[in-house]
Amino acid sequence: MNISIPDRLYKLLALIGLFLIGYSFYYMDFAEQKYFSEIDKHREIRDSVLLAQMQIDNEKDDLIRISDFLSTKYSVENPLLISDSTLVFSRVLNGPKNNLIVSDSIETIWKSYKKHKFQLNLLTKKLTFSQKYLDEEENLKKNYFSNYMEIRDIGFTLLFLGVLMWVMDIPSINREKNIIKQKEKLYSFCQSCGLEFNSMLKYGTNKNKSDNYAFCKECFRKGKFTNPNLTKEEFITNSLNIKKNKNWLSKKILKSRLSRLERWRDNHL
Protein backbone atom coordinates (compact mmCIF):
# COMPACT_ATOMS: atom_id res chain seq x y z
CA MET A 1 0.00 0.00 0.00
CA ASN A 2 1.49 3.30 -1.11
CA ILE A 3 0.85 6.31 1.13
CA SER A 4 1.21 9.60 -0.67
CA ILE A 5 2.67 12.38 1.43
CA PRO A 6 1.34 15.83 0.44
CA ASP A 7 3.98 17.63 -1.60
CA ARG A 8 2.69 21.12 -0.76
CA LEU A 9 2.13 22.85 2.55
CA TYR A 10 -1.51 23.74 1.88
CA LYS A 11 -2.30 20.08 1.19
CA LEU A 12 -0.64 19.05 4.44
CA LEU A 13 -2.55 21.69 6.42
CA ALA A 14 -5.87 20.70 4.86
CA LEU A 15 -5.17 17.00 5.51
CA ILE A 16 -4.26 17.61 9.17
CA GLY A 17 -7.31 19.85 9.53
CA LEU A 18 -9.66 17.18 8.17
CA PHE A 19 -8.08 14.57 10.42
CA LEU A 20 -8.52 16.73 13.54
CA ILE A 21 -12.13 17.53 12.63
CA GLY A 22 -12.98 13.87 12.10
CA TYR A 23 -11.07 12.83 15.23
CA SER A 24 -12.87 15.38 17.42
CA PHE A 25 -16.35 14.56 16.08
CA TYR A 26 -15.72 10.83 16.55
CA TYR A 27 -14.80 11.15 20.22
CA MET A 28 -17.48 13.73 20.93
CA ASP A 29 -20.03 11.29 19.53
CA PHE A 30 -18.42 8.48 21.55
CA ALA A 31 -18.76 10.49 24.78
CA GLU A 32 -22.35 11.39 23.99
CA GLN A 33 -23.32 7.80 23.20
CA LYS A 34 -21.75 6.61 26.44
CA TYR A 35 -23.66 9.28 28.40
CA PHE A 36 -26.98 8.33 26.78
CA SER A 37 -26.22 4.68 27.55
CA GLU A 38 -25.93 5.57 31.26
CA ILE A 39 -29.22 7.48 31.01
CA ASP A 40 -30.95 4.39 29.61
CA LYS A 41 -29.53 2.25 32.44
CA HIS A 42 -30.66 4.81 35.03
CA ARG A 43 -34.18 4.92 33.60
CA GLU A 44 -34.38 1.14 33.60
CA ILE A 45 -33.43 0.98 37.29
CA ARG A 46 -35.85 3.80 38.14
CA ASP A 47 -38.70 1.96 36.39
CA SER A 48 -37.81 -1.20 38.30
CA VAL A 49 -38.00 0.76 41.59
CA LEU A 50 -41.41 2.14 40.69
CA LEU A 51 -42.74 -1.30 39.78
CA ALA A 52 -41.31 -2.83 42.96
CA GLN A 53 -42.89 -0.06 45.02
CA MET A 54 -46.28 -0.75 43.41
CA GLN A 55 -45.90 -4.45 44.21
CA ILE A 56 -45.00 -3.69 47.85
CA ASP A 57 -47.98 -1.37 48.24
CA ASN A 58 -50.29 -4.01 46.81
CA GLU A 59 -48.90 -6.73 49.10
CA LYS A 60 -49.18 -4.39 52.07
CA ASP A 61 -52.88 -3.76 51.35
CA ASP A 62 -53.48 -7.50 50.92
CA LEU A 63 -51.65 -8.23 54.17
CA ILE A 64 -53.71 -5.73 56.14
CA ARG A 65 -56.97 -6.89 54.57
CA ILE A 66 -56.30 -10.61 55.15
CA SER A 67 -55.09 -10.01 58.70
CA ASP A 68 -58.24 -8.04 59.54
CA PHE A 69 -60.42 -10.72 57.95
CA LEU A 70 -58.80 -13.64 59.81
CA SER A 71 -58.74 -11.81 63.12
CA THR A 72 -62.46 -11.09 62.82
CA LYS A 73 -63.26 -14.60 61.60
CA TYR A 74 -61.45 -16.32 64.46
CA SER A 75 -62.25 -13.62 67.04
CA VAL A 76 -58.60 -13.06 68.01
CA GLU A 77 -56.40 -10.06 68.41
CA ASN A 78 -54.93 -8.85 65.14
CA PRO A 79 -51.21 -9.85 65.10
CA LEU A 80 -50.50 -7.13 62.53
CA LEU A 81 -49.96 -3.65 63.92
CA ILE A 82 -49.74 -0.42 61.94
CA SER A 83 -47.52 2.30 63.38
CA ASP A 84 -46.82 5.45 61.33
CA SER A 85 -47.47 3.60 58.05
CA THR A 86 -45.09 0.85 59.24
CA LEU A 87 -46.29 -2.72 59.62
CA VAL A 88 -45.25 -4.81 62.60
CA PHE A 89 -46.06 -8.49 62.73
CA SER A 90 -46.23 -10.19 66.16
CA ARG A 91 -45.95 -13.89 65.54
CA VAL A 92 -47.69 -16.20 67.99
CA LEU A 93 -45.62 -19.28 68.84
CA ASN A 94 -47.90 -20.78 71.46
CA GLY A 95 -51.34 -20.12 72.89
CA PRO A 96 -54.92 -20.67 71.80
CA LYS A 97 -55.48 -22.64 68.60
CA ASN A 98 -57.24 -19.79 66.80
CA ASN A 99 -54.37 -17.40 67.49
CA LEU A 100 -51.90 -19.92 66.06
CA ILE A 101 -54.06 -20.44 62.94
CA VAL A 102 -54.22 -16.70 62.23
CA SER A 103 -50.53 -16.19 62.97
CA ASP A 104 -49.40 -19.08 60.75
CA SER A 105 -51.65 -17.95 57.89
CA ILE A 106 -50.33 -14.39 57.97
CA GLU A 107 -46.69 -15.45 58.39
CA THR A 108 -46.43 -16.79 54.81
CA ILE A 109 -47.72 -13.53 53.34
CA TRP A 110 -45.52 -11.56 55.73
CA LYS A 111 -42.34 -13.35 54.59
CA SER A 112 -43.14 -12.60 50.96
CA TYR A 113 -43.83 -8.97 51.86
CA LYS A 114 -40.51 -8.61 53.75
CA LYS A 115 -38.58 -10.30 50.92
CA HIS A 116 -39.95 -7.91 48.30
CA LYS A 117 -39.37 -4.94 50.57
CA PHE A 118 -35.72 -5.96 50.95
CA GLN A 119 -35.42 -6.19 47.16
CA LEU A 120 -36.95 -2.72 46.91
CA ASN A 121 -34.31 -1.34 49.29
CA LEU A 122 -31.57 -2.89 47.14
CA LEU A 123 -33.04 -1.35 44.01
CA THR A 124 -33.29 2.02 45.72
CA LYS A 125 -29.60 1.89 46.65
CA LYS A 126 -28.78 0.81 43.09
CA LEU A 127 -30.74 3.81 41.81
CA THR A 128 -28.72 6.09 44.09
CA PHE A 129 -25.44 4.68 42.77
CA SER A 130 -26.73 4.94 39.20
CA GLN A 131 -27.51 8.61 39.71
CA LYS A 132 -23.99 9.14 41.02
CA TYR A 133 -22.47 7.42 37.95
CA LEU A 134 -24.77 9.42 35.69
CA ASP A 135 -23.58 12.70 37.21
CA GLU A 136 -19.96 11.63 36.81
CA GLU A 137 -20.57 10.64 33.19
CA GLU A 138 -22.19 14.00 32.53
CA ASN A 139 -19.13 15.81 33.88
CA LEU A 140 -16.86 13.62 31.75
CA LYS A 141 -18.97 14.39 28.71
CA LYS A 142 -18.67 18.11 29.36
CA ASN A 143 -14.88 17.78 29.69
CA TYR A 144 -14.71 15.71 26.51
CA PHE A 145 -16.77 18.28 24.62
CA SER A 146 -14.66 21.15 25.93
CA ASN A 147 -11.36 19.50 24.93
CA TYR A 148 -12.45 18.09 21.60
CA MET A 149 -14.23 21.27 20.56
CA GLU A 150 -10.86 23.01 20.87
CA ILE A 151 -9.31 20.31 18.66
CA ARG A 152 -12.20 20.69 16.22
CA ASP A 153 -11.68 24.47 16.05
CA ILE A 154 -7.96 23.95 15.39
CA GLY A 155 -8.89 21.50 12.63
CA PHE A 156 -11.27 23.98 10.99
CA THR A 157 -8.60 26.68 11.25
CA LEU A 158 -5.97 24.49 9.55
CA LEU A 159 -8.46 23.45 6.87
CA PHE A 160 -9.35 27.09 6.22
CA LEU A 161 -5.67 28.06 5.99
CA GLY A 162 -5.00 25.15 3.63
CA VAL A 163 -7.87 26.11 1.32
CA LEU A 164 -6.86 29.78 1.46
CA MET A 165 -3.23 28.95 0.60
CA TRP A 166 -4.42 26.68 -2.20
CA VAL A 167 -6.57 29.45 -3.70
CA MET A 168 -3.68 31.89 -3.48
CA ASP A 169 -1.28 29.31 -4.98
CA ILE A 170 -3.44 28.37 -7.97
CA PRO A 171 -1.86 30.96 -10.32
CA SER A 172 1.67 29.75 -9.55
CA ILE A 173 0.61 26.12 -9.98
CA ASN A 174 -0.91 26.91 -13.36
CA ARG A 175 2.23 28.81 -14.42
CA GLU A 176 4.37 25.85 -13.34
CA LYS A 177 2.22 23.43 -15.35
CA ASN A 178 2.30 25.69 -18.40
CA ILE A 179 6.11 25.87 -18.23
CA ILE A 180 6.30 22.07 -18.02
CA LYS A 181 3.93 21.65 -20.94
CA GLN A 182 5.95 24.11 -23.01
CA LYS A 183 9.16 22.18 -22.36
CA GLU A 184 7.89 18.69 -23.03
CA LYS A 185 4.90 16.40 -22.76
CA LEU A 186 3.59 15.92 -19.23
CA TYR A 187 2.99 12.29 -18.23
CA SER A 188 0.99 10.89 -15.33
CA PHE A 189 2.92 7.61 -15.37
CA CYS A 190 6.58 6.74 -15.69
CA GLN A 191 7.20 5.76 -19.31
CA SER A 192 9.62 3.05 -18.23
CA CYS A 193 8.09 1.16 -15.27
CA GLY A 194 4.49 2.36 -15.65
CA LEU A 195 4.12 3.51 -12.03
CA GLU A 196 2.11 6.66 -11.30
CA PHE A 197 3.99 9.83 -10.32
CA ASN A 198 3.23 11.08 -6.81
CA SER A 199 4.92 12.66 -3.82
CA MET A 200 6.87 9.45 -3.24
CA LEU A 201 7.74 8.63 -6.85
CA LYS A 202 9.62 11.70 -8.14
CA TYR A 203 10.63 12.61 -11.67
CA GLY A 204 13.97 11.44 -13.05
CA THR A 205 16.78 13.84 -13.93
CA ASN A 206 18.45 14.84 -17.17
CA LYS A 207 22.20 15.36 -17.66
CA ASN A 208 21.84 19.04 -16.70
CA LYS A 209 20.08 17.94 -13.47
CA SER A 210 16.72 19.23 -14.68
CA ASP A 211 13.62 17.11 -14.17
CA ASN A 212 12.69 14.57 -16.78
CA TYR A 213 8.91 14.40 -16.91
CA ALA A 214 8.75 11.10 -18.79
CA PHE A 215 10.65 8.81 -16.43
CA CYS A 216 10.84 8.40 -12.66
CA LYS A 217 14.01 8.71 -10.57
CA GLU A 218 14.10 4.94 -10.06
CA CYS A 219 14.39 4.36 -13.82
CA PHE A 220 16.21 7.45 -15.13
CA ARG A 221 18.99 9.50 -13.48
CA LYS A 222 21.43 12.06 -14.87
CA GLY A 223 20.28 11.45 -18.42
CA LYS A 224 20.67 7.66 -18.28
CA PHE A 225 18.50 4.67 -17.51
CA THR A 226 19.43 2.96 -14.26
CA ASN A 227 19.04 -0.42 -16.00
CA PRO A 228 20.16 0.28 -19.60
CA ASN A 229 20.68 -3.38 -20.47
CA LEU A 230 17.11 -4.38 -19.66
CA THR A 231 15.26 -5.54 -22.76
CA LYS A 232 11.60 -5.04 -23.51
CA GLU A 233 10.95 -8.77 -23.28
CA GLU A 234 12.75 -9.05 -19.92
CA PHE A 235 10.84 -6.09 -18.54
CA ILE A 236 7.44 -7.46 -19.57
CA THR A 237 8.33 -10.95 -18.28
CA ASN A 238 9.40 -9.56 -14.89
CA SER A 239 6.23 -7.46 -14.63
CA LEU A 240 4.02 -10.44 -15.47
CA ASN A 241 5.80 -12.59 -12.87
CA ILE A 242 4.95 -10.02 -10.22
CA LYS A 243 1.30 -10.33 -11.28
CA LYS A 244 1.44 -14.14 -11.55
CA ASN A 245 -1.74 -14.57 -9.48
CA LYS A 246 -3.78 -12.53 -11.96
CA ASN A 247 -5.92 -14.18 -14.65
CA TRP A 248 -4.87 -14.34 -18.31
CA LEU A 249 -7.05 -11.39 -19.33
CA SER A 250 -5.46 -9.12 -16.71
CA LYS A 251 -2.01 -10.21 -17.85
CA LYS A 252 -2.86 -9.55 -21.50
CA ILE A 253 -4.13 -6.05 -20.67
CA LEU A 254 -1.01 -5.37 -18.58
CA LYS A 255 1.28 -6.57 -21.39
CA SER A 256 -0.50 -4.34 -23.90
CA ARG A 257 -0.27 -1.32 -21.59
CA LEU A 258 3.43 -1.81 -20.85
CA SER A 259 4.19 -2.17 -24.55
CA ARG A 260 2.79 1.31 -25.17
CA LEU A 261 5.17 3.03 -22.74
CA GLU A 262 7.54 5.51 -24.46
CA ARG A 263 10.74 3.67 -23.52
CA TRP A 264 9.66 0.38 -25.03
CA ARG A 265 7.59 1.77 -27.88
CA ASP A 266 10.41 3.95 -29.13
CA ASN A 267 12.96 1.20 -28.41
CA HIS A 268 15.24 3.19 -26.07
CA LEU A 269 17.47 0.12 -25.61
Q: What is the DSSP string of the chain?
A: ---PPPSSHHHHHHHHHHHHHHHHHHHHHHHHHHHHHHHHHHHHHHHHHHHHHHHHHHHHHHHHHHHHHHHHHTT---SEEEETTEEEE----SS-HHHHHHHHHHHHHHHHHHHHHHHHHHHHHHHHHHHHHHHHHHHHHHHHHHHHHHHHHHHHHHHHHHHHHHHHHHHHHHHHHHHHHHHS---SB-TTT-PBP-SSS-EEE-TTS-EEEEEETTTEETTEESSTT--HHHHHHHHHHHTTTS-HHHHHHHHHHHHTSHHHHTT--
Is-contact 159 17, C-beta < 8 A?
A: yes
Is-contact 80 67, C-beta < 8 A?
A: yes
Which of 2-16, 41-55, 135-149 comes out lowest in average pLDDT? 2-16
Instruction: Kindly report, residue by residue over 148-163, the tens digit of the pLDDT.
Output: 899 999 999 998 988 8
Is-contact 24 148, C-beta < 8 A?
A: yes
For the chain, what is the mean pLDDT? 83
Q: What is the pLDDT of residue 269?
A: 39
**pLDDT exceeds cutoff 70 at 88:** yes
The average pLDDT across 21-44 equals 91
Work out the pLDDT band at 45, boundaries 50, 70, 90.
very high
Is-contact 126 45, C-beta < 8 A?
A: yes
Instruction: Kindly report, residue by residue over 207-258, the tens digit of the pLDDT.
Output: 888 888 889 999 999 989 998 888 888 887 887 776 666 666 666 777 777 7
**pLDDT exceeds cutoff 50 at 179:** no
Q: Does the pTM of the predicted model rise above 0.85?
A: no
The average pLDDT across 99-107 equals 90
Which of 26-35, 84-93, 136-145, 178-187 comes out lowest in average pLDDT? 178-187
The average pLDDT across 11-25 equals 90
Is-contact 235 258, C-beta < 8 A?
A: yes
Rounded CA-CA distance 67/109 in Å is 10
* Whole-number CA gyration radius for the chain: 42
Is-contact 216 193, C-beta < 8 A?
A: yes
Residue 14 CB contacts under 8 Å (≥ 6 apart), including other chains: 158, 159, 162, 163, 166
Work out the pLDDT band at 265, boundaries 50, 70, 90.
confident
The average pLDDT across 23-51 equals 91
Nearest to 116 by CA among 63, 193, 70, 74: 63
Instruction: Kindly report, residue by residue over 183-215, the tens digit of the pLDDT.
Output: 457 788 888 888 888 878 888 998 888 888 889
Residue 226 CB contacts under 8 Å (≥ 6 apart), including other chains: 218, 219, 220
Work out the pLDDT band at 268, boundaries 50, 70, 90.
very low
